[in-house]
Homo-oligomer: A and B are copies of this chain.
């Protein structure tokens, strides 16, 4: 069995690299921290993610630099060390191709590389956003290429498990198509939708509800990082974007005619079929939850009172959403619970004076 003994060298002490360092240090693994920006490595060291000076040669190198530079740093680390090398980039095809192009003089080297993608993140960046528990229960994709050494694959799996993640093994191509679908395409659709609001009069924006807020939330993400991700995954993304463009073309033709209904219905129905496949809590689309709406006054302590009352009913709140429509003096909280809990929840909340709607 391949054991993760360390030292582990982390190259790139941003959110992901620092969080990996914190998780491994917590387990007693020696972590070496390297960053092109000395201040970043220093900060990561100060918060306990590892050390900038480690004498022993690394057993494993984790490359957690910005997407554009991943391939060259992988190649560099394969050249400089005898360690197994992985990376944490959210696209896997391009880093592999880049690393391959740079290591062709010693093709054997590439056997020591296995790509991986810890699927956790935050809207915060930099070492100070790092957290030992960032990957607790998160999905960590491992993407061996045909010449990856099985021992290298095993060591990367150990790394993911040491960080508390659940691993999924996928081919490089499959991974990139999957993230194009469930991450990169939604990002672009959100950005395109939000883009139409740039020139809108304020009076139009005053009519915004929860729907446009949800659809455009991730459009506020960092354009620099996302340009690198989208560009790196353009082969997988292009196919999906073409599919959307063709559907838009059909929709536009239909809307120009007297009878648009069929085409519009087709797009909307397809959307329903896709939406219900997105896993909810616990990764299962099969756990059915029931929603209860509660009107709450916009004052401190009301949410505390509501959740205390919900807990008193014995219900576990599986999901929740607060609706804060512009200008409303009251808010509305949607609590999702298992069907078995709903009657008791509604009874207890109503008894305690809440305005409850199912």
Contacts and interface: CB of A to CB of B under 8 A. Distances in A.
A242 interface: yes
A242 to B, nearest CB: 6
A54 B196 CA distance: 48
A252 B186 CA distance: 16
A291 to B, nearest CB: 8
Interface in A151-196: 166, 168, 170, 174-175, 177-179, 181-183, 185-196
Interface in A189-223: 189-198, 200-201, 203-209, 211-221, 223
A119 B207 contact: yes
Contacts of A299: 316
Contact of A304 (B181, B216, B249, B311): B311
A339 interface: no
A194 B318 CA distance: 23
Contacts of A189: 189-190, 192-193, 215
A203, A261, A307, A318 — most chain B CB neighbours (10 Å): A307
Nearest to A170: B203
Contacts of A185: 193, 196
Nearest to A123: B291
A329 B138 CA distance: 9
Interface stretch (A31-39, A76-84, A97-105, A231-239): A231-239
Contacts of A52: none
A293 B119 CA distance: 18
A318 B328 contact: no
Given A317-B303, A320-B320, A264 B230 contact: yes
Contact of A197 (B123, B247, B277): B277
Given A196-B181, A214-B215, A270-B191, A357 B278 contact: no
B137 A223 contact: no
Given A196-B243, A268-B227, A315-B300, A219 B275 contact: yes
Contacts of A255: 230-231, 234, 237-238, 241
A312 to B, nearest CB: 8
Interface stretch (A3-11, A58-66, A107-115, A128-136): A128-136
This chain: how many copies in the complex? 2
A51 to B, nearest CB: 23
A273 B196 CA distance: 10
Nearest to A137: B328
Contacts of A316: 298-300
Nearest to A237: B255
A260 interface: yes
Given A137-B328, A214-B214, A278 B238 contact: no
Interface string A281-299: 1111000000101010011
A325 B279 CA distance: 9
A221 B265 CA distance: 12
B240 A205 contact: no
5 contacts: A131-B357, A183-B211, A195-B274, A245-B245, A303-B317
- 6 smallest CB-CB distances across A and B, nearest first, come from A283-B326, A191-B271, A137-B328, A194-B274, A178-B204, A197-B274
Given A133-B295, A168-B207, 13 more contacts: A119-B325, A122-B293, A124-B357, A131-B357, A136-B329, A139-B326, A182-B208, A192-B247, A231-B255, A241-B248, A248-B248, A300-B314, A319-B322
